[in-house]
Amino acid sequence: VATAMVDEEDWANAWKQYFKPVRISEKLTIKPTWEAYRPAPGEKVIELDPGMAFGTGTHATTSLCLRLLEKVVEQGDDVVDVGTGSGILAIGAVQLGARHVLALDLDPVAVSSASENVRLNGLEQQVNVKQSDLLQVMNRSRDKYDVLVANILAPILISFMNEAAKVVKPGAWYVASGVIAAKEKDVTEAMEQAGFQVIHRLLEDDWVALAARRKGDHL
């Protein structure tokens, strides 16, 4: 056993020196709130202070999700973000043209973080952050969504697949990430059984993200 004295440091903030502005997709750049940055014409900037919530955009599962949202979100879409974490996907969806996003998370820390990031981006009118899961929302509301996005582990994605099919419109998109390559087949099969057809697939660092479209005649 070896011991040594180290300088005192604010470890809760020390990691911030490694979090720099990063271009995630053709349109989207994630910028830490404490960094100065001048966007290029047409570039959309997501202001972010993730705190203790998951989702800085630097992890493959988050960046893949944002790239797929850029492919599927259309102007005026209504979006539901399940397991919103830092709120990065909800904010990105609005930046890409969504009219409104319902951002859900069961973790109160994530709800607080997402709410603050929504405020930092001036999107309080477009993004509604709630402490809830998809089943609670489905039981309380008859709203249907154009896009559902979830960056959660594969077993959880599979567990609410039928609920996902019921809260989206025919022809709507389901963007799913957080899937390790070994679980891709399980998620794809669950999507197909629930009435979705996989259209887009992205792979990075053994993580897979899928964008599936709900068949118009299902449910």
pLDDT of residue 78: 97
DSSP structural state of residue 27 = S
Q: Identify the residue with better confidence: 56 or 62.
A: 62
Q: Identify the residue with better confidence: 26 or 216.
A: 26
* pLDDT-derived band at 119, boundaries 50, 70, 90: very high
Give one word for 37, left, alpha or beta, with left for phi > 0 and alpha for psi -120 to 50: beta
The strand order across the sheet containing 28-32 reads 22-23, 28-32, 44-48
Q: Are 87 and 117 in contact (CB under 8 A)?
A: yes
Q: What mean pLDDT do residues 91-95 have? A: 96
* pLDDT-derived band at 178, boundaries 50, 70, 90: very high
81-95, 127-141, 150-164, 179-193 — which is least confidently predicted? 127-141
Residue 149 bridge partners (DSSP): 81, 175
Which of 46, 58, 65 is closest to 151 using CA atoms? 65
* pLDDT-derived band at 56, boundaries 50, 70, 90: low
Maximum mean pLDDT: which of 18-22, 37-41, 129-133: 129-133
Q: Are 32 and 16 in contact (CB under 8 A)?
A: yes
Q: What mean pLDDT do residues 89-101 have? A: 97
Radius of gyration, alpha carbons of the chain: 18
Q: Identify the residue with better confidence: 139 or 126.
A: 126
- Quick one: what percent of the chain has pLDDT higher than 70? 89
Q: Identify the residue with better confidence: 192 or 39.
A: 192
pLDDT of residue 105: 95
pLDDT of residue 8: 61
pLDDT of residue 219: 41
This prediction has a pTM of 0.87
Residue 13 has pLDDT above 80, yes or no: no
Quote the CA–CA distance of 20 and 43 in Å, as a whole number. Answer: 16
Task: Note the pLDDT tens digit of each residue in 40-55.
Answer: 888 999 988 866 556 6
> Which long-range contacts (C-beta less than 8 Å, at least 24 apart) are formed by 181-187?
181/206, 181/207, 181/208, 183/154, 183/155, 184/208, 184/210, 186/154, 186/158, 187/154, 187/157, 187/158
